[in-house]
Amino acid sequence: MNCIIIDDEKLARTILKTLCDDVDSLQVVGEFPNAMQAIKYLNENEVDLIFLDIHMPDFTGFDFVKTLKNPPSIVLTTSDSQFAIEAFQYECIVDYLLKPIAAERFKTAVTKAKKHQLISAKTEEQNAEKTYENDFYINIDRRLIKIDIPSIYLVEAKGDYIHIKTEDKNYTVHSTLKKIEEKLPESLFLKIHRSYIINLKKIIDIEDNSVLIKKDVIPVSRSKRPELMKRLDLL
């Protein structure tokens, strides 16, 4: 996880940097003595985690949090315990560390931040699946036929036509693969070859450079294989 440290005390930043360096999954990409410098950095860069001091001159840690539109995970660092209840009113604040910070307690906070990231990512994926349209229409012989998107398991390009294969029926439409790809939700579908788009939920088997969907064996191009493997839920 990429992280930044915001604290007006240089010694506090040094201690936090040392603690971060002892955790393999953390990489400190910035240290800032005040919130304004951090805001300028975040306007151009994204981070996974922020270690944030509450008491800073002119701009408190809570003031800083309120400026963030899409805040990453935040761990507050402070010598003052009285703001703990207020801190956890913010969904993005995952832990509250009291100075001096013990190494084991610091690692616990990092673990909480990782869990928060996983939950946030899963929530975004679920929301993406909910927001796509469930169907679209195709024009065949002057008839508009509704296609249920989740029922599609394969789309194949052949010349100026595409074949849409669904659980119930197959259709041939005068169109391009690119055009139908724009209608299909990325959360369900992946273009694995210049001529094929597959429904990831319908995969039965994967062997070498091909996938089996229903009775169709579909080639996977070398450039698309890494993305395919990344998208699968592997044990």
User: pLDDT-derived band of residue 58, with 50, 70 and 90 as boundaries?
Assistant: confident
* Core vs surface per residue 66-94: b (16+ CB within 10 A) or e: eeeeebbbbbbbbeeeebeeebeeeeebb
Q: Report the run of H or E that residue 67 belongs to, with start and end.
A: helix 61-67
- Over the stretch 137-185, which tens digit does the pLDDT of each residue have? 888 888 899 999 999 999 999 989 999 999 989 999 999 999 999 889 8
119 has a pLDDT exceeding 60:
yes
Q: What is the dihedral of CA 197, 198, 200, 201, to 10 degrees?
A: 140
Start-to-end CA distance of the chain, whole Å, equals 22
- Over the stretch 211-223, which tens digit does the pLDDT of each residue have? 999 889 999 998 8
Sketch out the chain's domains with CATH numbers: 2-130 (3.40.50.2300), 135-231 (2.40.50.1020)
